Amino acid sequence: VLLKSPSTGRASVTLDGRDFGNFVNHPLMRKASARAVKNTRFVFGPPSETHIRAGAIEFVGSWPALGTAYACTMRCDGGDAIGTDAPNVSIQARSVAPPPEVKAAALKAVPPADHEKVVAAELVTFFTSLLLDLDGVELRYGSMVVNANGGGRRSGGSTGSSTSSSSSSSSNGGSSSSTSDGKLEGSGVDGTVSLQLNLFVRQFPPLNIMF
């Protein structure tokens, strides 16, 4: 099938905490994150340390250039990042341990006192400008919705549901029910995140494509 002109559309994928952790550790994401912070590598932590709760995504990671590990909290502020000046994502990064002086001195572009703000700002840019090329199908970040207790509550407090011009896919196999403490039975997590993606189809990928 030959495309006379590129096609565009929208897609949605719903992930739980472990799914999101696997997503940021996928080989394509590891390749992209090699220049995530100040044009240097950011290493996302294991999926087991990624959680979705209290309307936010919590994950860990490290910045080898500074020799520091971080506990990060990502929230969405509503709206669509595409076509706007401000991203709809905010991130807070808290260092697990102070950066070693030798590393901090080696990276003169980042004052030690500002490294948490630098990491947070760089990760916001990384996620909201992300582009994945799946052999001719380009996926760009559009927006993010954090679903708490099976609902469609945005982390900013407003309510809504995710929409897409294509079918939504969920990685949560089977059904789950809410418990009294707000967690979802059966999934082992207490929330999900729906990523709205903008598609740009230049060519159809091969039938044996491996994601």
CA–CA separation, 92 vs 107, rounded Å? 21
Mean residue pLDDT of the chain comes to 73
pTM comes to 0.70
pLDDT tops 90 at residue 137: no
Q: What is the pLDDT of residues 61-85, one digit of tens each?
A: 999 888 889 999 999 875 444 444 4
Assigned token pair, 133 = 């090329």
Q: 101: part of which helix (H) or strand (E)?
A: helix 101-106
What is the average pLDDT across 177-188? Answer: 39
pLDDT tops 90 at residue 151: no
Q: What is the pLDDT of residues 101-117, one digit of tens each?
A: 656 555 565 666 688 99
* Contact call for residues 147 and 172 (beta carbons, < 8 A): no
pLDDT tops 90 at residue 20: yes
- Residue 121's pLDDT is 94
- Residue 87's pLDDT is 57
Cα 179–182–96 angle (5° rounding)?
135
